[in-house]
Amino acid sequence: MLEERLTSWEEQLLPQGAGVIVGVSGGPDSMALLHRLWSAAAEKEWNVTAVHVDHGLRGEESAEDADHVQSWCRQQSIPCYVERVDVMGYMRKHGGNKQAVARELRYDAFYRVAQSVDATHVAVAHHADDQVETLLMRLLRGTGTQGLTGIPRRRRWRGMWMIRPWLHLSRADIRAYCATHRIPFRHDTSNEDPVYTRNRVRHELVPLLSSFNPRFDEALLQLSELATDEEQVWERLTKEAFHNVCTRVHEKGITLDIDRFNRLEVALQRRVIKLILNCLVKKSANEVDWQAVERVRTLTTGDNPSAQTPLPGGGWVQRQYHLLRFFSSAEEAKARAVPSSVSLQLPGEMAWGEGRICAQFVAGVPSATGRGLEAAVFDWERLPPALAVRARLPGDRMRPLGLGGSKKVKDLFIDAKIPQQERDGIPLVTAGNDIIWIPGVARSDIALCDADTRKTLVLRWTPDKGAH
């Protein structure tokens, strides 16, 4: 029966002819997984490679683990790599949690070996008891329904597939497999140390909960399966909402329309924010907690049109009237801030809102003058002094070229079919009290170039890449 269950999941997770590296600590779970995959390798045409990572955290015991894995692989003729990483050295330089750093360096080692052997899959030996412990730890820390999905059986990882073939089996199932096939394994004494939360959950909390319901682990795993199924629906709805409310997505930031966002149900608002934060935060995803999400939501409903707040992992979010702008760093937020007014750099280039403005001088009149597009030219000697860039203000008016009079900037935006949620992100270039250029919208009738022009100011606007 056990063999049938193993074969069923293997066929779903690992296709015929796949290259797979197996993370092997030397403990019973990973040794059994390596044995199982290697035993089926010839029939399935799998290219199986073992990888052991020595973290150097347990002295002689760590070295003995590496020797054990290497020796057994040599006996079985299994290709084996031993990677050594310096967890404590990394922490002295960068800080961090020891368990988290060890995991990061271990998975980096997996990636290096996978690349060197052209593997398409990475197999690790998490099992059902690990899943139960993970779910309990998330509940203790605080989690949403997304957290109840637990450890995924299969996911994309650095261009490969991370798979967990043992996830449907218990620790007892795996020990029985080791006994049946006489697989030798090591015992990691750190798994008994109560300083680690997972060990306390395993040795104290799980037995306590089992005293209330001997089958509580089955109930918790069933809840996780239900949450996983429902998350697939939520994921689709969240992506649809994200594309509906976001006006711009680029490498260093994301902008959303507050009016559209506030029309979403609260549950979708939270999920859209978490999706954005996870995109920006990346390695600090564990820091994207409920408090961080709620801080962002508060910005969309408050009265302050320029409110801002830091994000987990060093990111930043700013409100700019009808827009909410997320940045990967505070430095990027500062560079992309939209001030009330700033002097135009002449000549030079400056970041402004959702793009960059470049100003340069040329002799005479350039062949391309541009009108109401991403470039405009002006007779420098006829321009009023004090050129600046600012956002639009209520009641703004401009004298567009060819109109013969002034017109409200609001109406110019409407005529140019600029969506309302994007208007606050478009710069207005002013000379004195006059608006002389709105990129992509209109150029004024001030300082036109002609045959007598000796020096021309050329302005260009380059929007950030990645707009919807």
Same domain? For 86 and 104 the reply is: yes
pLDDT at 247: 86
Which of 181, 208, 223 represents a domain boundary (last residue)? Answer: 223
Instruction: Provide the annotated binding site.
Output: 25-30
In terms of average pLDDT, the best of 16-20, 341-345, 458-462 is 16-20
Asked whether residue 27 is domain-assigned, the answer is yes
What residues make up the domain containing 354?
341-463
Return the C-alpha torsion angle 212, 215, 217, 220, nearest 10. -90
Same domain? For 385 and 454 the reply is: yes
Instruction: Provide the annotated binding site for ATP.
Output: 25-30
pLDDT at 284: 47
Report the relative pairing of strands 19-23 and 121-123 from DSSP bridges. Answer: parallel
Residue 326 C-alpha from the chain's centroid: 12
Asked whether residue 235 is domain-assigned, the answer is no
pLDDT in tens, 181-224: 999 999 988 888 898 899 999 999 999 999 999 999 999 999 99
Q: How far is CA 321 from CA 153, 303, 421, 423, in A?
A: 43, 10, 9, 10
Q: What is the mean pLDDT of the chain?
A: 89
pLDDT at 313: 79
> Which residue stretches of 343-441 are H helix?
409-415, 420-423
Return the C-alpha torsion angle 61, 67, 72, 73, nearest 10. 130
pLDDT in tens, 378-413: 999 999 888 999 888 888 999 999 888 999 999 999
Does the pTM surpass 0.85? The reply is: no
Tokens of 196: 């680690």
pLDDT in tens, 337-358: 666 678 888 898 887 777 789 9
pLDDT at 386: 84
* Total number of domains constituting the chain: 3
- In a 13 Å sphere around the CA of 90, the CA atoms on its Cβ side amount to 18
Same domain? For 323 and 372 the reply is: no
- C-alpha span between 219 and 357 (Å, rounded): 59
Same domain? For 446 and 308 the reply is: no
pLDDT at 462: 86
Same domain? For 327 and 425 the reply is: no
- C-alpha span between 122 and 157 (Å, rounded): 9
Same domain? For 319 and 351 the reply is: no
Asked whether residue 238 is domain-assigned, the answer is no
Confidence of residue 370 (pLDDT cuts 50, 70, 90): very low
Asked whether residue 242 is domain-assigned, the answer is no
- C-alpha span between 301 and 283 (Å, rounded): 29
CATH number at residue 443: 3.50.40.10
Same domain? For 148 and 34 the reply is: yes
pLDDT at 238: 96
3-state SS, residue 309: strand
Confidence of residue 250 (pLDDT cuts 50, 70, 90): confident
